[in-house]
Structure 1
């Protein structure tokens, strides 16, 4: 006997997803005029070693996804424990995200990077876009990966609706 099931409600989904912490990243790109765009996410992970692929999930209603899809390039800034200001700035919609934190353009791709708030960065070319409900899964091939010197802080985590820092090695 099969029981008809319905998807969980949005509050149950949020509670489930908040119950397990994830590393915080800020995904950035720029438009054809060089205007930077970005968003914070915990929905990212490695996909493949050969070729080197990672994925991030972007809201279909955000301003960054259409720019990222058109440009075909993006950066993933993995935040360290002191990067909470960047996480909070990029978690909210609206202008002013890039005025809230220091950033630079990558010499290799021109992508916006957050060197004061990230412990590592990856610069990626879009490999595939896959619609998934109210988000799009973006798979990127990594063309440049850097671990940034000068920070002894562990990664920034988000779970149970709060930030925490993974202990330093």
Structure 2
């Protein structure tokens, strides 16, 4: 089984990916691990090193679930997947998740109030561009995800990630059964 989960930051890709990996006893690949050198998300790996990490995982694991995309720096990555899952969620819920995650990771001082009185920081400001970015090469944007969906060789399943993990998992299993490997 080769699954890839895409969607805006805060839609639950990592949570669902880890859940599926544990259920199926397969490798969970978080594409952030290819992009960032550490969990502070402050320094990127160069593309050559990302490609090496990607190829090392592909050689080691026949079955996996991927959370995130590599498309902007590796357009041919994960094109042999069995299913592409596009996660969506209401933007208000998404930003509640993101703000909570930012505060958990870096503390309350990692966010500030914008002129409208909303909590924000540089990452959250970037997340607000998910639907407005127009270039498919812009990583982690609706434009990028729409391009991947339109050109996917594998079936695509769109899921509302506000539902419980076990429901999402069952819907994914059902879609794979309808489209056997």
TM-score (norm 2): 0.27
**Structure with a larger share of its residues in helix:** 2
- Larger RCO, structures 1/2 (Cα 8 Å, 6+ apart): 2
TM-score (norm 1): 0.28
**Structure with a larger share of its residues in strand:** 1
